[in-house]
Structure 1
Amino acid sequence: MNLSPQGEVRPQSALVIASLVVVNIIWWMVMVAAIGLGATHLSRCPVQPNIPIYLIVLGAANLLALSLTYSRNNWGGDMASSMCSACTAALHLFSFIWIFVGTSWIYPVYPPDYTPGTLRYCHMTTFQFAFAVTTLLWVATTLMFICSCCFALLTCCKAVISGHRLIPNRYSFYGATSGSHEPATGGDV
């Protein structure tokens, strides 16, 4: 449910809800697979032993953030909901920083040797999964950034075209109904 500009609650479309459910299920499966691959092949990537650890931590942080997001409204009380939101935000920030760390481990060793016993060996499925997930996360982050910039630009253009000021001048205030931009005077003296 979301609020309309008049403050009334309106239901979301079935397509939006179904899409969100499918994306969430896929993300849960990817993060469980990340933990499983990282834990199963913990010592099978000597070229960069931190790659399996990266997968375990990334999966655990994202699953915990998703769990907190789902349970935030079920705990009752504003304080519990606020703490849950703060923890979720901290986990998302940690995950974003962790992607930078994982990138510094994955991309420099690309492509590793997938033959066991060689110096640049890394388990093929583990490395390719880490590479694919990290690349997809960077693509999604880039798309979100571009869409946010486009939305901000459109909002600014809409405000300029409609004649509204983005930043009021020193003589106006928010909510003013007067079209005059001159300071108010006390009359003729």
Structure 2
Amino acid sequence: MDPSPHVEVGPQRAVRISSLVVLNFIWWMVMIAAIGLGATHLGRCPVQPNIPIYLIVLGTVHLLSLSLTYCQTSWGDGMAYIMCSACTAVLHLFSFGWFFAGTTWVYPVYPPDYTLGASRYCDKTTYQFAFVVTTLVWVATALMFVCGCCFALVTCCKNFILGNRLIPNRYTFYGAIDSHEPAGGDV
């Protein structure tokens, strides 16, 4: 007998999984391109020499983080799972800070001069790639924040309209039936 339960995959779940696979594949390619562009143009952005380094580290950290996430889901419980989870959390925290550092390097020099030898020179492909990736991450972050706020608002409104209380009254506890009288009968 198979120890894992057989999960039926419906059309919506199949679309969701396919979309996640495609998005993961695209993100892998973007991060590989970030490493390649940063490495090949390492000294070609004198207006802000940290931009190629930003791309290299960003790509490396994200690829390592994605790899650990895949390993974590395949290993299941145990010490390896805990270590992968801890390493992934540290990488995500570092990536969060690194993204803010990259933002402070990319946006203040907009637009650089793409003419070789100019004082505000930066390689056009490298700078535009860093600018677009940073902007897309900011847009995705803002979109997730707005969607999260909308979901919270809808949930609160739904609970309010249905009369459900988010905080129980003094006569109830979580999971109990609301009876409006003390549990002992007489007070």
- Cα deviation code 1:30-77 (max 9, x no counterpart): 000000000111110000000001001110110011001111133354
Instruction: Give 2:9's aligned residue.
Output: 11
Instruction: Give 1:105's aligned residue.
Output: 105
- Mapped partners of 2:99, 2:36: distance in 1: 18
Instruction: Give the partner amino acid of 2:24.
Output: N
Query: Could you state the TM-score of these two structures normalised by the residue count of structure 1?
Result: 0.88
The reply to whether residue 183 of structure 1 matches residue 177 of structure 2 is no
Q: In 2 relative to 1, CA 143–76 (structure 1 residues): closer, same or farther, beyond 3 Å?
A: closer
- Mapped partners of 1:186, 1:75: distance in 2: 53
* Worse-superposed segment, 114-123 or 73-82: 73-82
Aligned with 2:70: secondary structure?
helix
Q: Kindly report the root-mean-square deviation, in angstroms, between the aligned alpha carbons of the 2 structures.
A: 1.8
- Mapped partners of 1:139, 1:26: distance in 2: 17
Instruction: Give 1:5's aligned residue.
Output: none
- Mapped partners of 2:73, 2:102: distance in 1: 32
C-alpha deviation, 1:18, in angstroms: 1.4
* Worse-superposed segment, 107-116 or 161-170: 161-170
Instruction: Give 2:174's aligned residue.
Output: 174
Gaps of 5+ in 2: 1-5
- Cα deviation code 1:112-166 (max 9, x no counterpart): 0001111100000000000000000000000000001111111111111121111
Instruction: Give 2:49's aligned residue.
Output: 49
Aligned-pair identity in percent equals: 71
C-alpha deviation, 1:167, in angstroms: 1.2
Instruction: Give 1:94's aligned residue.
Output: 94
Instruction: Give the partner amino acid of 1:180.
Output: S
- Mapped partners of 2:30, 2:129: distance in 1: 9
- Mapped partners of 2:153, 2:76: distance in 1: 38
* Runs ≥4 residues deviating over 6 A: none
Number of equivalenced pairs: 180
Instruction: Give the partner amino acid of 1:11.
Output: V
C-alpha deviation, 1:9, in angstroms: 4.6
- Cα deviation code 1:85-134 (max 9, x no counterpart): 22212212221221111110011000000011111000000000000000
Instruction: Give 1:144's aligned residue.
Output: 144
Aligned residues of 2:171 and 2:179 also touching (Cα < 8 A): no
- Mapped partners of 1:84, 1:169: distance in 2: 42
Gaps of 5+ in 1: 1-7
Instruction: Give 1:164's aligned residue.
Output: 164
Instruction: Give the partner amino acid of 2:157.
Output: C
Instruction: Give the partner amino acid of 1:103.
Output: T
Query: Could you state the TM-score of these two structures normalised by the residue count of structure 2?
Result: 0.89
